[in-house]
Amino acid sequence: EDQVTQSPEALRLQEGESSSLNCSYTVSGLRGLFWYRQDPGKGPEFLFTLYSAGEEKEKERLKATLTKKESFLHITAPKPEDSATYLCAVTNFNKFYFGSGTKLNVKP
Amino acid sequence: GAGVSQSPSNKVTEKGKDVELRCDPISGHTALYWYRQSLGQGLEFLIYFQGNSAPDKSGLPSDRFSAERTGGSVSTLTIQRTQQEDSAVYLCASSPDYYGYTFGSGTRLTVV
């Protein structure tokens, strides 16, 4: 069954405490893996696209990596403004498959 | 326009009424998706339009849900005889291809 699983469901960090979010997938024929950030009451905001195993992308305190089975979103020295739900999605050109998201709360 | 526009932003309706949700994608984007997100849940795929191809309706939860896309641009999602379980945020996304989808801010539907 094609699916995307994100873990943990929720993560509470102290400001400056680095951590990683996981996105594992069983979608066949991967053509792209996406990370989005969603703030309450808003639509998801695009962060990264990864296309092949070994690829890495960085943006400010965020770094996304991809293997054949999973992707990690590494957050280095997070700040309270990084608090949001982070969504992972995978496409095989037929459909998008979304995970349920990881709700990140960074406390000052 | 500069982004994907959805209207209305909020809709409260009585159980049993029909509602129409509108999505204006970014000009030139051939692909358009509808999703819904229930409170605390991930995104649930509803329907996908790609150019002039027949839409992928496999995610529509029941025959009360329908969607159309006129002229390859504006899309309308219609929910007939709304039920309380239809309450959710309905999100629209568009893309020029299979990458870099842009989402609208969504329509928050509350069925009372």
Task: Tell me the pLDDT tens digit for each residue of B74-98.
Answer: 999 999 999 999 999 899 988 876 5
**What's the rounded Cα separation, in Å, for the pair B100 and B93?**
10
| Other CB atoms within 10 A of residue B38 CB | 13
User: Are residues A42 and B99, on separate chains, in Cβ contact within 8 Å?
Assistant: no
DSSP, res B25: P
Using an 8 Å CB-CB cutoff, list chain B residues near A90: none
**If we measure between CA atoms, which residue out of B54, B53, B106, B84 comes closest to residue A43?**
B106
Segment A22-34, tens digit of pLDDT? 999 998 888 889 8
* Contact criterion met (CB below 8 Å) for B101 and A49: no
Average pLDDT, chain B: 89
Interface test with A, best of B44, B97, B103 (most A CBs within 10 A): B103
Distance from chain centroid for Cα B32: 9
DSSP, res A25: E
| More confidently predicted of B44 and A14 | A14
Using an 8 Å CB-CB cutoff, list chain B residues near A42: 105-106
Quick one: pLDDT band at residue B28, thresholds 50, 70, 90?
confident
Element (H, E) at A33: strand A32-38
**What's the rounded Cα separation, in Å, for the pair A17 and A11?**
11
